[in-house]
Amino acid sequence: MTGYQLQGTKGCFESARGGGQHLIWLDSMGEDVDHAHWRDLAECSEYLPERYRIATDEQNKAGHGGGDFFLVQDFVDAIRENKKPDIDIYQACEWTAVGLLSELSVMNGGKTIDVPDFRGAKTYKDQEIRL
């Protein structure tokens, strides 16, 4: 079974492995780093947006703990109401690029690879990834 980890300067996440728990540590939990401990993600619902905390069973069944439902709902609302969605095309490209570029880096011996500037690029050439 594949496990996933995400680490930043103020928090860490580790996905469940073999029926275990999703684990999280956040700097904002107020623990001294030397004495910090991982917590079950299920115990941290106060960090979730309200709509995820009160999601219906139907919404949760859409996939990814309601995430799929709300992503589609935001897209539909953006079209209907002509407004910017919470996750726009630039964020989607940037978030996706991180994973793809990470794999590309691994395949090239850990070489540093710049993330294209999707927001400021004037042409497709400006978004080209160079090794």
Residue 82: pLDDT band with limits 50, 70, 90: very high
Tally the domains of the chain.
2
Contacts 24+ apart (CB under 8 A), 9-13: 12/38, 13/41
In a domain, 56, yes or no: no
With 80 as the cut, is the pLDDT of residue 130 above it?
no
> Which of 80, 73, 64, 82 shows the shortest CA–CA distance to 22?
64
With 70 as the cut, is the pLDDT of residue 85 above it?
yes
In a domain, 120, yes or no: yes
- Mean pLDDT of all residues in 63-71: 83
In a domain, 101, yes or no: yes
Q: What is the dihedral of CA 17, 5, 38, 35, to 10 degrees?
A: 140
In a domain, 70, yes or no: no
In a domain, 65, yes or no: no
pTM for the model stands at 0.58
In a domain, 21, yes or no: yes
In a domain, 2, yes or no: yes
**Domain that includes residue 116, residue range:** 89-127
Beta bridge partners of residue 6, listed in sequence order: 13
- Mean pLDDT of all residues in 67-94: 89
